[in-house]
Amino acid sequence: MLHTQYRCHPYISQVSNSLFYNNVLRNGITVEDRDPVMDELPALCFYNVSDGLEINDRDGSFYNDKEAQFIMFLIEVLVDRDVDPDRIGVISLYKSQMYKITNLLGSN
């Protein structure tokens, strides 16, 4: 099992640490080691898309078209503000949602 992570911003690693590592995962980097993508944005954002509908895929995974479209909107805003696309990350806990977002990214 992983004991120390060096890739993620510490705020992001808190999510996986809580969900999958029983809070024993340590950060090998500090918040100061990771420059913000934009000064006015936190390293980790959660948004409530109130009119979305969660669909259960036949694989047992879930997706939400409205959330996927909202993510595309956010990515477009960041790119329009000259954020390097290589610095943008989207975390999805559902494989079907990842496929939806990937397909939308591919069509744009």
> Who has greater pLDDT, 91 or 66?
66
CB-based burial of residue 34 (10 Å sphere; 0-12 exposed, 13-18 middle, 19+ buried)?
middle
Domain range summary for the chain, segments of one domain joined by +: 1-34, 38-108
pLDDT digits (tens, 9 = 90+) for 46-87: 889 988 889 998 888 999 999 999 999 999 999 999 999 998
Predicted local confidence at residue 42, as pLDDT: 84
pLDDT digits (tens, 9 = 90+) for 5-58: 999 899 999 998 999 999 999 999 999 998 888 887 888 888 899 888 899 988
Q: State yes or no: pLDDT of 108 exceeds 80.
A: no
